[in-house]
């Protein structure tokens, strides 16, 4: 479920196979952090996701409400789930200030994106969990296959 209450469905053969095999754990870090649906758009301001984790940047809504703490709580909840289930790979939605794995919005609420990652992605990667975007199922599948062969 997106911040605006809209769904973003994904149809992919790898995803369907993983679902059938019972290999998926679903989580929305922003909801886990206590944010409602729908909610105002939020972006990382004056820094990058790692700076948010390190307390040198903030996440704010379009109306100036600071939501850094819910974003951090959600990222920690996602990490805790990954650690509980031994998850080594996450597939997260790009352009999100939580889940972006390749692109995020630029912090100006102009709709412009930049190369960057979200807060949850940054925290997972700090703990050696490989993150892919929803456009990289084949790469994720290849990565998982390589893990099995090691």
Q: pLDDT tens string for the chain (150 positions)?
A: 567 666 666 788 998 999 999 989 999 999 999 999 999 999 999 999 999 999 999 999 999 999 999 999 999 999 999 999 999 999 999 999 999 999 999 999 999 999 999 999 999 999 999 999 999 999 999 999 998 887
Question: In a 10 Å sphere around its CB, with 0-12 CB exposed, 13-18 middle and 19+ buried, how is residue 85 labelled?
Answer: exposed
pLDDT at position 104 is 97
How far apart are alpha carbons 2 and 10 in whole angstroms?
13
- CB neighbour list of residue 45: distance below 8 Å, 6 or more residues apart: 57, 58, 59, 60, 107
Whether a cis peptide bond, with omega within 30° of 0, leads into 38 is: yes
pLDDT at position 6 is 64
pLDDT at position 1 is 59
Segments making up each domain of the chain, as ranges: 25-149
- CB neighbour list of residue 32: distance below 8 Å, 6 or more residues apart: 73, 74, 77, 78
* Integer CA distances (angstroms), 54 to 57, 58, 112, 126, 145, in order: 8, 10, 25, 12, 33
How many alpha carbons fall within 13 Å on the CB side of residue 3?
A: 20
pLDDT at position 148 is 82
Cα Rg, the chain, nearest whole Å: 15
pLDDT at position 4 is 66
Distance from the first to the final alpha carbon of the chain: 35
Give Cα 11 to chain centroid, integer Å. Answer: 19
């Amino acid at each position: 479920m997106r911040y605006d209450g809209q769904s973003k469905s994904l149809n992919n053969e790898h995803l369907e196979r993983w679902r059938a095999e019972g290999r998926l754990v679903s989580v929305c870090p922003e909801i886990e952090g206590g944010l409602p649906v729908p909610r105002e758009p939020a972006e990382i301001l004056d820094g990058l996701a790692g700076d948010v984790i390190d307390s040198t940047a903030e996440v704010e809504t379009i109306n100036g409400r600071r939501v850094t703490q819910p974003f951090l709580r959600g990222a920690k909840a996602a990490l805790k789930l990954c650690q509980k289930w031994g998850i080594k790979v996450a597939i997260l939605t790009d352009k999100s200030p939580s889940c972006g794995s390749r692109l995020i919005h630029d912090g100006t609420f102009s709709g412009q994106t930049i190369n960057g990652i979200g807060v949850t992605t940054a925290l997972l990667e700090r703990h050696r969990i490989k993150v892919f975007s929803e456009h990289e199922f084949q790469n994720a599948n290849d990565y998982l296959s390589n893990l099995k062969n090691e």
